[in-house]
Amino acid sequence: MASRTVTIASSVGLHARPAALFVEAATNTGLDVEISKDGDEPVDATSILGVMALGATHGEEVTLTAEGDGADEALDSLVALLSRDLDAE
């Protein structure tokens, strides 16, 4: 299982538009991707409700995990996405 840790760059955290963009990108990987905050249970990264309920705010670290062929590349692209202020674009 591949894993990456990233700091949320979006000024509003993973809420509304940034969450929707992240969920779409996670879904497009075709892999089982999960996201979690330190100490919390991971949630399905393809679930908008799960991602928003995570409550990840600007500057918080989250951990992404994925399993399957291409997991490392998929996580690298998701990390790059979360490293940008998606609400400013």
Q: Are the beta carbons of 36 and 63 closer than 8 angstroms?
A: yes
What count of other Cβ atoms lies within 10 Å of the Cβ of residue 76?
A: 13
59 near 14, Cβ under 8 Å? no
Annotated active-site positions, please? 15
DSSP 11: T
The per-type count for the chain, helices as H runs and strands as E runs, is 3, 4
